[in-house]
Amino acid sequence: MKNLSVLILLFLLLSCNGNKNDPVQPEGASLFRTTAPSHLYFKNIRSIHYEMTTEPDTRIDLYKFRRFSETDRRPILYPVIVDNWMQDEAYLLIRPNDYRGGIPDTLQVEWQNTRDSGRYLLQSADWTDQHRFAQQLYQSLQEKHQLLLLDKEGNFVPLFDDKQDQISFLTTMRDYYRLTER
């Protein structure tokens, strides 16, 4: 009887090896993957802090954190969580506010600290580029960098000077990371 149990266990382990001919997921696809538990947590616990809209003629929900300032006097970049629940994926979409000085289609953010500086650039609407850009802003805010956004007039203006907007950006990113289990 003991040998039969060992044989059954061995058979099960070998059969769970998977099909070697399964297609390989493209690079970055797992970056956006959600799971049932993470999705349930977001929908049942965290989503109450967000304004939710559904894209017309799709099954894609957009979540914008409620506590961002509603102003046009200073630039704000909102990370919007895009929940593609039919594909078990979630993405980030960076949306600017209606800043009076105007925000160009290509986003340029300069970061500065006491020793160094650099620039982040977002030119495309590609999910991977949006994710990378949002992650760069997230890291800069965590490291307390001064951030400046290039407006349509060619001036660098302060970005995330308001503490509540910083907290809102960081909270949205943490919720997104929890949703995608990062």
> Whole-model pTM?
0.82
* Number of Cα atoms under 13 Å in the Cβ half of residue 91: 18
* Residue 39 belongs to some domain of the structure: yes
* Residue 3 belongs to some domain of the structure: no
* Residue 2 belongs to some domain of the structure: no
Selection from 164, 173, 168 nearest residue 138 by Cα: 173
User: d(Cα 18, Cα 12) in Å, to the nearest integer?
Assistant: 11
* Residue 87 belongs to some domain of the structure: yes
The pLDDT tens digits for 147-162 are 999 999 999 999 999 9
Structure tokens at 53: 């809209």
User: d(Cα 177, Cα 182) in Å, to the nearest integer?
Assistant: 5
Domain limits at 57?
Answer: 25-179
Question: How sure is the predictor about 182, in pLDDT bands with cuts at 50, 70 and 90?
Answer: confident
Question: How sure is the predictor about 9, in pLDDT bands with cuts at 50, 70 and 90?
Answer: very low
* Residue 96 belongs to some domain of the structure: yes
Total tally of structural domains belonging to the chain: 1
Q: In the predicted model, what is the mean pLDDT of residues 105-132?
A: 95
